[in-house]
Amino acid sequence: MKTGLDFLLAAKRCEIDGLQRLAFTATLVDVTTRLVHNLQRERGLTNLYLGSQGKRFAEARLAQLVASRQVEAEWRAQFERLDASAAQAGHGARLFSRIAYVLQGLDGLEALRQQLCGGAWDTARATEAFVRLIAALLAVVFEAADSATDPEVSRRLVALFNFTQGKEFAGQERAAGAALFARGQADAAEQQRLLHLIESQERCLEVFAAFAAPETRAMLTAPHASNTLAELERLRRVLCTAAHGAALKPELSQTWFDVCSARIDAMKGVEDRLTADLRATCSTKIDQAERELASFGTLASQPAPDPLVFYLAPADAPAVAPPGAPQGFGLPIDRSVLELVHDQARRLQAMGDELEATRASLNERRLIERAKGLLMAHRQLSEAEAHKTLRQMAMNQNRRIVDVAEAVLAMAEVLPPR
Amino acid sequence: MKTGLDFLLAAKRCEIDGLQRLAFTATLVDVTTRLVHNLQRERGLTNLYLGSQGKRFAEARLAQLVASRQVEAEWRAQFERLDASAAQAGHGARLFSRIAYVLQGLDGLEALRQQLCGGAWDTARATEAFVRLIAALLAVVFEAADSATDPEVSRRLVALFNFTQGKEFAGQERAAGAALFARGQADAAEQQRLLHLIESQERCLEVFAAFAAPETRAMLTAPHASNTLAELERLRRVLCTAAHGAALKPELSQTWFDVCSARIDAMKGVEDRLTADLRATCSTKIDQAERELASFGTLASQPAPDPLVFYLAPADAPAVAPPGAPQGFGLPIDRSVLELVHDQARRLQAMGDELEATRASLNERRLIERAKGLLMAHRQLSEAEAHKTLRQMAMNQNRRIVDVAEAVLAMAEVLPPR
């Protein structure tokens, strides 16, 4: 017959299983961000190549194709290892569904490249195709973040997801700006889209900053990063303030691409640091939990306690971990199973609360994205316009944008179908 | 190499795994509510027995002990089957931790009975011991509700948890009232506690009503249930309005116990219906999901679609399921994997949103309970006083009680340690 101690141990093993699952998720997130990075470069080079009517960047693009294909193969190999039985029910189904969607895109990627090479699609359409695939990949990272069962790992995943999403907006900005310079003429709609991409980028980096460790945040404000940003801001000004139809210097296309790339490469450094930290956190937590589990083994040999102890113990202290309390138990010398069960329950409760707080930021994002999608579908708005509409409503009503998004979604049921 | 279809199937299998886990959880919840019911009867009879100085109810109590022991053995056998590897990481750890706590109580139950039989403890202390054990069992039901991955099952579990908790307040009311009548003298503090138990009961039944199916709700307002309630309300008035120290008729103890028992037995009928519905819902959903999974099998033999379809499909419709949309897909004849992936993603998203909404009520409960615990610990209040304090703060500040609870918990960090 299983005892209380058995279930105490089972709870710990559950935690360890969850952490091991997270450690594997971290490797999936790692390879996903690397694939995104390569597709971003491919998108940028493809746009330069198309923008120059195939006269320039052919070699750089071909070299990038080799790199992209290599990381894609690695991505497929890693996800091949993902086992349905190892996943959590609710999150697992969502994660697998996202992966199924990505595979639809990857399976068509070579056909897309041929299509683009043939010159049948313009840069806007080429960009849109890559944006769609990258968004599908980022949705995998989002689900991974949403499935975390440990608050510290969850915070790191939320920081990483927002950073990677911000970097994707930076990548879209690079592609859009490069195409605009290469075309040699300012365009009001494209300029509006650029401003929206810059703003979205900044929003993501704010959330990243709220969840990231200070030393990682500091990487973005290092001197050389600031120099790059200053040059980028100058070029942004040139691009965004030109009157509609005014001439742009096509030779700045390369400069723009290089400056954006320098910034994105620096961001890639931060991203690598974030994924490395994520994996290290998982390892540390697994080690710690396994030490705790091992230390519980000595409990079985303790003398049996007073059978009435459950009924005699003082009523529960509030399940609030005092600030700065250590995460682990320490060695349970001279501690009864009941005390350990109390400690464990309190700690798991505190972890659950922390997790809810972190996941709230993901939920907000989900609500805002869905409200935007609804506005785009029902009012035929672009993503940028839908976002502007939500922001304007929030300002007019003096409410948070997430509250407005919720109100929009609540309206969904009374809207006529498309 | 796994394909998109493989991951589409894996997502479905994940859902089925989750539902099967829930079906097993439903059997655990079922036996837990039955054990609670028997412990409630044992508590009531023990109080009558102790209140009469062992002169009456000895036989009825002994018969109840036999029944309690039998359900306890069944409970232990069912939980023995619970496998750590089958549980979800976050929720699993919390559930196992709760079970470990319950086992500490069950292991001391025979010692408790001997203690009570010896007459060393008064009725208040006896009641408190049973309340503690039952609360530990209800925490298991709470975690089960919190771990549901399907919104419909989650709603049913939330209804069931609140109903069972309401029934427990009714059980505490029965025990407290019986003891008060048996003692033959009104007591202001005990009367205050009775009023608190009645109010808490009504709050739980309100949440139950918000989540339960109409036909289940109707069982509580059936004619014979109303008759019992009318008689109960008359006795409540006798008990609660007697002046402090005034005489109460000890012979009403039996009447009170019978009326309360009639009501609680009617509630047990509702509870049985809720657990039966819960299990039926799980079975239906598993069957449906398995039919869908089987129907996906025909997809593999479909001709390969245009590889560019991922990039050519119209942009995502908003991920909001139209009202009244069927939960399943129907047979995927003539539908591409991409369309099914889209449908699946949209459906999982809608399910996730519904689930968040249901779980919000559990989170509110958790916050309020923790805030009460904090007030009890830091200001040496009883549970009833802590609740009254929160309610008073909410009224004074014109805020919801859950918002006040959150504010109290936010204050926790600045409060001095006990």
Q: What are B124-149's pLDDT values in tens digits?
A: 888 899 999 999 999 999 998 888 88
Same domain, A261 and A310: no
> Do A319 and A344 form a contact (C-beta atoms < 8 A)?
no
Q: What is the pLDDT of residue A206?
A: 92
What is the token pair recorded at B363?
Answer: 């989170």
Q: Is residue B292 part of a domain?
A: no
Q: What is the pLDDT of residue B231?
A: 92
> Do B349 and A363 form a contact (C-beta atoms < 8 A)?
no
Nearest CA in chain A to B417: A322
Helix ranges (DSSP H) in A212-251: 214-219, 223-241
Å between B49 CA and nearest CA of chain A: 20
Q: What residues of chain A score a pLDDT lower than 50? A: 317-333
B137 by DSSP, 3-state: which?
A: helix
Same domain, B319 and B393: yes
What is the token pair recorded at A116?
Answer: 């683009």
Å between B238 CA and nearest CA of chain A: 32
Q: Is residue A243 part of a domain?
A: yes
> Which of B28, B72, B101 has the most A C-beta neighbours within 10 Å, making it the best mutation to test the interface with A?
B101
Q: Is residue A405 part of a domain?
A: yes
Same domain, B212 and B308: no
Domain total for chain A? 2
State the CB neighbour count (10 A cutoff) for residue A376: 21
Put simply, whether the predicted model's pTM sits higher than 0.90 gets the answer no
Q: What is the pLDDT of residue B358?
A: 87
Same domain, B317 and B251: no
Q: What is the pLDDT of residue A326?
A: 40
Tell me the CB-side half-sphere exposure of residue A141, using CA atoms within 13 A.
28
Of A11, A322, A374, which is closest to B318 when you measure between CB atoms?
A374
CA distance B11 to B293: 10
pLDDT tier for residue B37 given thresholds of 50, 70 and 90: very high
Angle B223-241/B151-183 helices, nearest 10 degrees?
A: 50
Q: Across chain B, what does the average pLDDT equal?
A: 86
pLDDT tier for residue B417 given thresholds of 50, 70 and 90: low
Q: Is residue B250 part of a domain?
A: yes
Provide CB contacts within 8 A for A251, sequence distance 6+. Answer: none
B129 by DSSP, 3-state: which?
A: helix
**Most confidently predicted of A378-382, B2-6, B38-42:** B38-42
Provide CB contacts within 8 A for B194, sequence distance 6+. Answer: B173, B176, B177, B180, B236, B239, B240
| B389 to B6, B373, B374: CA distances (angstroms) | 56, 12, 12
Indicate if the pLDDT at residue B87 is higher than 70: no
Q: What is the pLDDT of residue A323?
A: 38
CATH number for A394? 1.10.10.10
Considering only CB atoms, which chain A residues are within 8 Å of B122? none
Provide CB contacts within 8 A for A88, sequence distance 6+. Answer: A21, A147, A149, B14, B18, B88, B89
Provide CB contacts within 8 A for B35, sequence distance 6+. Answer: B68, B71, B72, B74, B75, B137
| A313 to A301, A336, B132, B135, B175: CA distances (angstroms) | 22, 12, 10, 15, 22
Q: Is A54 left (phi over 0), alpha (psi -120 to 50) or beta?
A: left
Same domain, B272 and B346: no
What is the token pair recorded at A203?
Answer: 């929003």
Indicate if the pLDDT at residue B377 is higher than 90: no
Provide CB contacts within 8 A for B400, sequence distance 6+. Answer: B394
What is the token pair recorded at A46?
Answer: 């493809």
- What average pLDDT does range B375-398 have in this prediction? 86
Same domain, B32 and B153: yes
- What average pLDDT does range B334-363 have in this prediction? 84
Decide which of B228, B257, B286 is a domain's last residue: B286
Q: What is the pLDDT of residue B256?
A: 92
Q: What is the pLDDT of residue A320?
A: 36
Q: What is the pLDDT of residue A324?
A: 40
Q: Is residue A294 part of a domain?
A: no
Of A2, A132, A342, which is closest to B311 when you measure between CB atoms?
A132
**B229-287, pLDDT tens digit by residue?**
899 999 999 999 999 999 999 889 889 989 998 999 899 999 999 999 999 999 999 99
B121 by DSSP, 3-state: which?
A: coil
- What average pLDDT does range B165-181 have in this prediction? 90
Considering only CB atoms, which chain B residues are within 8 Å of A87? 14
Q: Is residue B220 part of a domain?
A: yes
Same domain, B68 and B131: yes
Cβ contact (<8 Å) for B377 and A317? Answer: yes
Same domain, B199 and B309: no
Q: Is residue B295 part of a domain?
A: no
Of B95, B322, B353, which is closest to A417 when you measure between CB atoms?
B322
Angle at CA of residue A360, ends A358 and A366, nearest 5°: 125
Residue A265 sits in which domain range? 24-281
Cβ contact (<8 Å) for A317 and B373? Answer: yes
Same domain, A78 and A182: yes
Residue the block writes with tokens 């954006």: A260
Q: Is residue A293 part of a domain?
A: no
A332 by DSSP, 3-state: which?
A: coil
Same domain, B307 and B184: no
Same domain, B204 and B308: no
Decide which of B239, B259, B286 is a domain's last residue: B286
Of B89, B349, B377, which is closest to A88 when you measure between CB atoms?
B89
CA distance A310 to A307: 7
Same domain, B9 and B62: yes
